[in-house]
Chains A and B, each alone.
Chain A
Amino acid sequence: MNKNGPLEYDYSVSKLFIMNALFVGTIGMLVGVILAWEMAYPEFNTFLGEDLAEYTNFSRLRPLHTDSVIYGFTLSAVWASWYYLGQRVLKVSMAESKILMFIGKLHFWLYFSASAVIVLSLLMGITTSKEYAEFEWPLDLAITVVWTLWGASIAGLVGFRREKALYISIWYFIATFLAVAMLHLFNNMEIPTMFVTSPAGETMIGAWWHSVSMYAGTNDALVQWWFGHNAVAFVLTTPIIAMVYYFLPKESGQAIYSYKLSLLSFWGLMFVYIWAGGHHMLYSTVPDWMQTMGSVFSVILILPSWGSAINMLLTMKGEWQQVASSPLIKFMVLGSTFYMFSTLEGPIQAIKSVNAIAHFTDWIIGHVHDGALGWVGFMVIAAIYHMAPRIFRREIYSKSLMNMQFWIQTLGVVLYFTSMWIAGITQGMMWRAHDEFGNLAYSFIDTVTVLHPYYTIRAVGGTLYLIGFVMFVYNIYKTTSAREVEEHELQNASPMGA
């Protein structure tokens, strides 16, 4: 390595994670689309025949969808971004240290192998039932190792850094690492049953992977939603903010609007987010004061969330023509807008009287997806579009394909959340409707059959989003052999072919 020349960043680990994000993203979204059609047309549950029905029916596939898009697609993209921008903002190259490179590669391959086992185990029905923490104890241990390796990579790059001040993105990566580590460890406290001995002296009884939760009933729910809510926060929010704080200024050539606003949003988010988990258990058997805290903090959460979103949007101040001219900027600006929208909708649903109608209905599914498809999905897509020309040193294959993808996916998201709003509120109102004599006005099945049109619209919306995603994967695939770019270090706007 030339000691006096410019730093040469090494993107080999980043590249692996990008490929995984594209691969698992396609699979995870495809499973989601299958689920959507199964809800609209139940006969679709046996689409591979009666013999395989056990593995293709809605309930068995559902955790596979959620886990693959959260931990497969999103985390891969987060790590691709980490191994890309971590080097750049800390001014240290992965190529400078054999150990860091080894940790990075090991991180990827262990993660990849664990993911493969997770897919199989979920298909077999091996699950703890806890949402987004379905994995049994051997996999929980594997996840802990993978996570620790990422921690080692952060510690390594930060330790060797030449740029002394940590950039905002690094704050969010560090927060993500710490919070998820804490949540994962506490939520997965479980006792493997393989260690017990029967009074007759028999050992190794039953399935070796089985375990029992350390917590029971209400306590178990409390820990699970402390985890569940914040897994959303620290996998689907903070690392995505880390990404946008780097990629938006880089792509647009604009400086972040306000340092103070980023400070306020960061520390505000850190303090407030975790409290809000209680809003998943309103009107349940957890103590009332905890439910109220969950509600109140959810509303306060609007402040730090909008702080980040406004900081993003105002970064484009004076440069709004870029939104019209660049599909890449379009993805980021609409993504930030969806973030604002989703972080307003969430607190509304967390208000107790609204939650009484919204809870258990499709409105919640709609909320999750305007965040996941509109915010996370769009930001990940934008990040990969920005990284690809720099990693492969080639221009993005097609700008018009990108534009088409943008509009198809936007239409998909809009169809998705509008249909789920109507479905959720309709069902919530029908459940509680009484007739003039005080009897329930509708039997449960009435409130199911009425949803059929909305389930169909949702499935169409999801399918459009998937089509857009396949166009994205194709565009990136073609980028690897597109026209080479001559500049050594690309500035700002990513080069795009027609």
Chain B
Amino acid sequence: MFHWLERNPFFFALSVFVTISFAGLIEIVPSFAQASRPLVGTTPYSTLELAGRHVYIKNSCNACHSQLVRPFKSETDRYGHYSRSGEYAYDRPFLWGSKRTGPDLMRVGNYRTTDWHETHMKDPAAVVPGSIMPKYTWLYENETDVETAYAEQLTIAQFFSTPYNKAIPMKDGTSKIIKMGDSIAEAHALALDEAKAIVADMKDQNIKDTVASGKIPEIVAIIAYMNSLK
């Protein structure tokens, strides 16, 4: 049979393809049939949080920080509850990472503050002596791309029925609405409102002034994202 295959390239290629397809069919397809549903209390990202997530991705933060707490005592002691599938339901893409040069960030919003991030990103070693994280000074100057975040919100609402502007049930029986703008101007206004709430806790006068003038520096967006990780 093998000798015959080696003389008939089409059937050879076909056999290879069938052989390599098995694993994908058996391992991946069943998981998709059972699409991951959000945990009660898991909400989609707001406009500014999503923009902050883009800043996180743009700077490949995931190259050094994981977002996956494994079910070991040493990890739950350090980072909080182990990760559950439903918590990632709105993560497109997932950001588990594959290397922990720095600590896990899955629940960083539970134990770090706006103020801490503001000082830390400017000069990590000044906050954590011995830190090898580079300074992310440009985040304080670059402007956040709110429009792309808005375009993504529109896309996921349309294609994946992500529940924006809808009541989402929370654990304590109440419900929460994550707003999405009806126009670019409205999306900007929503993001700016979120940004104002963040800068209220910040020290840098330049950043405060910039937000007051209607522009959002990347640092504000990424802090909004960090704070949402719980």
Contact = CB atoms under 8 A, between A and B. Distances in A.
Interface residues of B, number: 89
A198 B154 contact: yes
Interface string B118-159: 000000010011111111111000000101111110111011
Contacts of A226: 23-24, 27-28
B93 interface: yes
Interface string A86-119: 0000000000000000000000000000000000
B166 interface: no
B130 A445 contact: yes
A215 interface: yes
Interface in B1-42: 2-3, 6-7, 9, 12-13, 16-17, 19-24, 27-28, 31-32, 35-36
Given A206-B151, A216-B92, A360 B138 contact: no
A182 interface: yes
Interface string B28-58: 1001100110000000000000000000011
B55 to A, nearest CB: 9
B172 interface: no
Nearest to A267: B19
A212 B92 contact: yes
Contact of B13 (A54, A178, A433): A178
Contacts of B68: 284-285
Interface string B66-96: 1010111111011000011101111111111
Interface stretch (B99-107, B191-199, B202-210, B221-229): B99-107
A63 B61 CA distance: 11
B178 to A, nearest CB: 16
Interface string A330-373: 00000000000000000000000000100111101100000000
Contact of A178 (B16, B28, B61, B154): B16
B114 interface: no
A186 B24 CA distance: 10
Given A125-B58, A212-B155, A198 B20 contact: no
Contacts of B150: 198, 205-206
Nearest to B55: A125
A199 B183 contact: yes
B60 interface: yes
A232 to B, nearest CB: 12
Contacts of B71: 283
Given A129-B95, A219-B31, A179 B89 contact: no
A174 B12 contact: yes
A184 to B, nearest CB: 13
B13 A193 contact: no
A210 interface: yes
A219 B16 contact: no
Nearest to B5: A166
A196 B19 contact: no
A58 B152 contact: no
Contact of B182 (A158, A199, A220): A199
A81 interface: no
Nearest to B42: A217
Q: Interface residue tally of chain A, by bracket?
A: 35 or more
A42 B125 CA distance: 9
A364 B98 contact: yes
A444 B155 CA distance: 38
A221 B36 CA distance: 12
A133 to B, nearest CB: 10
Nearest to A124: B58
B64 interface: yes
A222 interface: yes
Interface string A428-459: 00011110000110001100110000000000
A162 interface: no
Contacts of A166: 6-7, 9, 12
Contact of A432 (B74, B133, B134): B74
B63 interface: yes
A444 B151 contact: no
Contacts of B87: 217
B59 interface: yes
A205 B102 CA distance: 34
B59 A125 contact: yes
Contacts of A38: 134
Nearest to A41: B132
A356 B70 contact: yes
Contacts of A220: 88, 91-94
Contact of A196 (B17, B102, B155): B155
A234 to B, nearest CB: 9
Interface stretch (A274-282, A375-383, A461-469): A274-282
A141 interface: no
B57 A218 contact: no
A60 B149 contact: no
Contact of A361 (B31, B35, B100, B145): B100
A171 interface: yes
Given A206-B151, A217-B89, A222-B31, 10 more contacts: A46-B135, A53-B135, A165-B3, A196-B154, A198-B182, A215-B92, A218-B36, A263-B2, A432-B72, A448-B102
20 contacts: A50-B137, A63-B63, A186-B24, A191-B155, A196-B158, A200-B182, A200-B184, A207-B148, A216-B88, A217-B91, A218-B31, A219-B36, A220-B93, A267-B19, A271-B19, A271-B22, A274-B22, A286-B85, A360-B99, A445-B131
